[in-house]
Amino acid sequence: MGVRKNARYLSGPEREDFVRACVMVKADIVNPGDPVSQQYDRWDLFVAIHRMIQNAFSPGASAVNFGHGGSGAYSFFSWHRYFLLQLERELQRWVPGVMLPYWDWTDPTPLLTDDFLGPNGSSGTQTVDSGYFAGSAPGTGSNPTPAPAWWPSSLTGWNLSTAFPSFWQGALRRDIGGSLPSPDAIQEALNMTTYPAFQNAVESGNGLSPANFHQMHNGLHGFIGGHMSSPTASPFDPIFYMHHCNIDRYWAMWQRDGNAGTYPTSGGDPEHHRNDIMYPWTGGTSGYGTNVSMPPIQMPDFSALGAQRNVDTLDHRALGYTYDTSAHPSWLMLPSLLKMTVNHLGDARMWSFLSRRDFGYFLAGSRHPFLTNGDLYGRGYDPARPALTVLPLPSTPARMACWHTLAFMFDWPVFERILKACLASLDTFYYLVHPADLAQPADLDPSMKLHLERLEVPLATKIGHLERAIEHMLSDGRRIVTMKTLARHARQTIEARRAA
């Protein structure tokens, strides 16, 4: 299963693979047998598809926007999920294994380099003049960026086809400026309890409180500006796909939080309900088409894909991908939990713990941090009592949780192999040091019965293991980041939510 990662943390080779795949799709001529003046490339075809579905028809309606529309436009999530998947598969035709990254809606400056997405547009013209997405190919015209060895000689620059309105033809434009949504705005959207409310909040910001209001999806198209600011041509900018990839990630997070099968069967715009077909992936079903004419570009025949309905997109893992922030069962925790259960079979609190909903969070992870006080993990929070913020630490295909506890559970040689495997294959992973990993029985309240055998390991051994693990990470050139600030923010967020 492929993993979509945060664009900010892609490695150099991963960045290059993504850019190279985009460039090869742009250089791929759809109709090479036609006169040169009538030819168009596959990247522009995706831009055209996105435009043509905004004014289309179906057996039951003469004017349908299949992917947008604000309140009632339930297919906003599902249509774009499948659209992104088609582009991703096209990229993989040229660079096997490449995945769409996501822009996490933080400052995009680190992404706007000549060897990745290219810079902001020039003052006045708004055109991108350097990098791989400039109007002139690298090393030609006014583009100072050196051409990579893989650059296709047939591609003279990143320019939009004359099939589009004249205002949007030519070089890519950007005019970055404005505000980004706050973490509180994103969290408020994720806390929406119904699909219509969540979709409306993410697409347009409607329903967010005045203190957190931001237009979210709509506003960020305007934030990038240029081609991104218009639904006519927004997919011409590669940032479009990273932007919508992040939206798809938020939908996946919302689904994970108890909404996996949620999709309205009524109450929305025409063709935006659970079992409705998504145009243009109709499987040859008659009565669908577009009201937009864009010669020489024609809507492709997607009948081989079969009829794709909104409901078919609900499980993104079934479509073959996941995100580096998606929760997965942490198999490394299973031996520890099994051991703890066996050791405390006679303790009533053990069974209370296993029956709690939080046990699932402890094992499989959750996007929400939660608070604990008292003897066991729980959601009840008494401000008068001390509490700790418990951060979810799921392992994922791209980011495995590596617990210091394992050094005692498996002995150092086995743990060292796990740590080296993480360093060899993962860009980012958690190394969690629990307080009990550096504690001794005398440090704890003697009335506490529920503890792990790791407490019996001599403190000198624990510190020695930790020092050896840190040496491994530093020698691998890793940067160690603590979670203190994240924990503080998580606690403030939860307390503010409870106060509200």
CA distances from 294 to 65, 162, 164 (A): 17, 9, 7
Measuring CA to CA, which residue among 116, 153, 151, 139 is closest to residue 15?
116
Reading phi first (left if > 0) and then psi (alpha if -120 to 50, else beta), residue 449 is in: alpha
User: What confidence score (pLDDT) does residue 378 get?
Assistant: 32
The verdict on residue 47 lying in a domain is yes
Write the CA distances from 343 to 200, 248, 334, integer angstroms.
49, 43, 14
**Locus of tokens 């590669």:** 238
314 plus 398 within the same structural domain:
no
Domain presence at residue 16? yes
Q: What is the pLDDT of residues 414-471, one digit of tens each?
A: 677 767 766 765 665 666 676 666 666 666 555 544 444 555 667 777 778 788 888 8
- pLDDT of 395 reads 36
Residues 106-129: b if buried by 16+ CB within 10 A, e if exposed:
eebeebbebebbbbbbbeeebbbb
Residue 138 and residue 32 in one domain? yes
pLDDT at 8: 85
Give pLDDT, residue 170.
Answer: 95
The pLDDT, as a whole number, for residue 445 is: 55
Is 188:209 a contact under the CB 8 Å cutoff?
A: yes
> Do residues 265 and 344 share a domain?
no
For residue 239, give the CATH number of its domain.
Answer: 1.10.1280.10
d(CA 100, CA 3): 9
Model pLDDT, residue 30: 96
Supply the Cα-derived Rg of the chain in whole angstroms.
Answer: 26
Residue 398 included in any domain: yes
Are 344 and 246 in a shared domain? Answer: no
- Alpha carbon separation from 413 to 36, 420, 465 (Å, rounded): 64, 11, 11
Do 163 and 297 touch, CB atoms closer than 8 A? yes
Residue holding tokens 């030819």? 39
Which residue is associated with the tokens 């307080």? 435
The pTM of this model reads 0.71
Residue 133: exposed, middle, or buried by beta-carbon count in 10 A (0-12, 13-18, 19+)?
buried
pLDDT on residue 357: 42
323, 352, 375: which is the final residue of a domain?
A: 323
Q: Is 318 within a domain?
A: yes
Are residues 77 and 42 part of one domain? yes
* Angstrom distance (rounded) from CA 278 to CA 310: 6
Closest CA to 404 of 441, 363, 439: 439
Is 174 domain-assigned?
Answer: yes
- Say yes or no: 256 and 349 in one domain: no
Domain span at 288 = 2-323
Provide the token pair at 424.
């060899």
User: 285 with 403, same domain?
Assistant: no
Do 101 and 134 reside in the same domain of the chain? yes
Q: Is residue 500 part of a domain?
A: no
**pLDDT the model gives residue 86:** 97
pLDDT along the chain (500 residues), means of 10: 85 94 97 93 97 96 94 96 98 96 90 95 94 96 95 96 92 94 86 93 93 91 96 96 95 84 94 96 96 95 96 93 62 53 60 50 40 32 39 37 56 72 63 64 54 61 80 78 58 63
499 found inside a domain: no
Q: Are residues 213 and 126 in the same domain?
A: yes
Structural domain contains residue 383: no
My answer on whether 227 and 359 are in the same domain is no
Number of domains in the chain: 2
338 & 468 share domain? yes
Phi, psi of 469 (to 5 degrees): -65, -45
Could you tell me if 292 and 351 lie in one domain?
no
